[in-house]
Amino acid sequence: MIGCRPLEAGHFSAHSTRKGVTCARAVASKHEVSIANVAVRYVLNQPAVGGVIVGARLGVSQHIEDNRRVFQFQLDEEDLKSLKLASRSGRVLNGDCGDEYRYGR
């Protein structure tokens, strides 16, 4: 998930967020990884992306271990298709994350 926009840049709504999380949860379960791992793997699969900055809480070592799992699985075509479809149900917002709160969209 890119910032506050689920899975595909430019799409955001409460419905698309729920749909995206539900889809990501199913993919995560299939690969036995976390939803965060699926989101990072999805972003890394995008052609224009060379890296992802992932935060982990200081002193919470399980986050570090979980983040390493991103490199232990690949999303297949079915995963990519379902994640892309889930992210398409939102409306397009121009601007950065937070504009929807500042400008009451």
Q: Any residues with CB less than 8 A from the CB of 57 and at least 6 apart, and which?
A: 63
Strands (E), 1-105: 11-12, 91-92
| pLDDT tens for each residue of 19-55 | 778 899 999 999 999 999 999 999 999 888 889 888 7
- Give the whole-angstrom CA distance, residue 87 versus residue 19: 8
| pLDDT tens for each residue of 7-17 | 444 444 455 57
- For the whole prediction, is pTM greater than 0.75? no
Domain ranges of the chain: 11-102
Burial of 92 (0-12, 13-18, 19+ CB in 10 A): exposed
